[in-house]
Amino acid sequence: MLTALSIRDVVLIEALDLDFGEGLGVLTGETGAGKSILLDALGLALGGRGDSGLVRHGATQAVVTASFDAPSAPLAALLDDNGVEVEPGEPLLIRRVVKADGGSRAFVNTQPVSATLLREIAPRLVEIHGQHDDRGLLNPRGHRAMLDAFGKVDPAETARCWTAYRQAEAVLAAARAEIETAARDREWLEHSVAELQALGAEPGEEESLADKRRSMQRAEKIADDLSAIEDHLEGSDGGLARLRQAARVLERVAPDHESLAEALAAVDRAVIEASAAEERLREARHALAFDPRALEEDESRLFDLRAMARKHRVQPDDLAALTEDLAGRLQRLDAGEGGIAKLEATVASTRAAYDQAAAALSERRLAAAARLDGAVATELPPLKLDAARFRTVIAPLGPDGWSGAGKDRVEFEIATNPGAPFAPLAKIASGGELSRFLLALKVALAETGGAETMVFDEIDRGVGGAVASAIGERLARLARRTQLLVVTHSPQVAARGAAHLLIAKANDGTVTRTGVRQLSEAERREEIARMLSGATVTDEARAQAERLLETA
């Protein structure tokens, strides 16, 4: 619900702060007082065009701030998806700034947003109804959703079937494209698969071969050093043999002196360590054994892996996966029409399910349309539209227009005179007729919900008496469900308001300004009397105003 509107330097409005409450709020004033400026300011906050012509003469910028109750969960989710943080339970503040030299900025709760986002959230906040509104009831793009809401028609099953059908079509199209591409490349595919399978690359094989190759190359370099070490240790003249000979001699003489015994122990330890060293050297020679033929084979395998990887523009470790992928493509190509036929059957079955769901949805819409036509017809005579006829047109869409919402095009049409053809709402020539008809339609659709705030711009244009009273009664009825703001010239409508705002223009000799103020009960009676009698307010007009207020 719109709770407040702050306007700074918009056309003739220098500074204006308005508070709004629940129910029906009426805005009155003489012709040219600036009622349209007020609606232009609200429209600006809701994403309307940021024209620099809206900036008051002499000001650098125009600023409009609209305050709303805490947003609904769906609206909060939409804002969150667009990076706008909204604290639960906190009001929603929308501010729009238009520069005199061009350009505009928009903010939601102090966070900068685009005017496009404002236009997206606007219908969830405010509905503006009038002959120049192309986003409300006049826009046929919203008629299908309105009819579904009125008839409580849920398209969820149709949407599910549509998603399944489109996914099946996408899988089939991808399979056909793959087979077509693969068929063109069959010769290359067969050669590549044969070549890769013959190579038989394994993940991690390149690193293993490279490590082995480095080890053998190193072994080749240190082979002479290892041989020299063995010569020093092994053999009859090697160091280990001489240590053992020394140990045998020491064993005979060790009892003769304590130092000889210690020397024997030391030599024994040396023999043990030298034996361990000999064993380690033997193991190292075995591990680092240099086989020129094995080195050549490993290098050849390594070069083959790397060459194949370069050829297919992958890493060597990815060759195994590539082999599997290309083999799978070749297998699917060989499977050919058998696989396609199965996918085509899936498409056919999901299409049949969608057709059935869409047909059932159309039947429910037809039933809802009949009820809506009847509800609107009931509202027309009291609004002096006795000769008008309303119908809800449900027509099939072409395949390009099918969606999760079904196959139907829905549009509201009206014929205003006997014998006249039906035409879209926007084609109604008379602004007064259109406004009254929009009210009848909105009353019929009242149960469908919508924005928490509705604005009717001069819906009573060109009517009076009983028709104006009927309009006022219906506006008051709508206002029980939602906040309603009405710009009106009708005293019968003004008398129905829970709050009455007067829009007036003042001139101090140099500057003309538009102001708005809420009227007291006495002021309200005087304003309604003015609306009844014109420039000169008579006692009779005041008495009639009193009667209107009492019966409202």
Q: What is the pLDDT of residues 112-152, one digit of tens each?
A: 999 889 988 888 898 887 544 545 677 888 899 889 988 99
Distance CA 104, CA 94 (A): 13
What's the rounded Cα separation, in Å, for the pair 448 and 368? Answer: 12
- Euclidean distance between CA atoms 126 and 136, whole angstroms: 10
pLDDT (tens digit per residue) in 38-80: 888 888 998 888 888 889 888 999 999 999 999 888 888 899 8
Among 111, 105, 112, 126, which residue's Cα sits nearest to residue 46?
A: 126
Residue 236 pLDDT grade (very low, low, confident, very high; cuts 50, 70, 90) = low
Q: What is the average pLDDT across 254-258?
A: 81
Q: Encoding tokens for residue 211?
A: 């490590």
pLDDT at 231 exceeding the cut of 70: no
Average pLDDT, the chain: 85
pLDDT at 162: 97
pLDDT at position 134: 46
Comparison of pLDDT for 187 and 232, the residue scoring more: 187
**What percent of the chain shows pLDDT beyond 70?**
91
pLDDT of residue 348: 96
HSE-CB of 163 using CA atoms within 13 angstroms: 6
Residue 163: the pLDDT is 96
Please give the residue that has the higher pLDDT: either 57 or 185. Answer: 57
Mean pLDDT of the 355-365 span: 97
* Range among 53-57, 228-232, 308-312, 363-367 rated most confident: 363-367
Q: CA–CA distance from 417 to each of 374, 408, 440, 462 (Å)?
A: 18, 28, 17, 17
H or E, element range at 480: none
Q: Which candidate, 339, 343, 436, 449, places its Cα nearest to that of 390?
A: 436
- Euclidean distance between CA atoms 297 and 189, whole angstroms: 28
Contact 492, 470 (CB under 8 A): no
Mean pLDDT of 172-188: 81
pLDDT computed for residue 369 by the predictor: 95
- Per the listing, tokens 């020539």 go with 429
Query: What phi and psi values does residue 426 have, to the nearest 5 degrees?
Result: -65, -15
| Per-residue pLDDT, 400 | 94
Indicate whether 477 pLDDT > 90: no
Q: For the residues of 40-55, what is the DSSP string, one character each?
A: HHHHHHTT----GGGB
Least confident of 217-231, 435-449, 505-519: 217-231
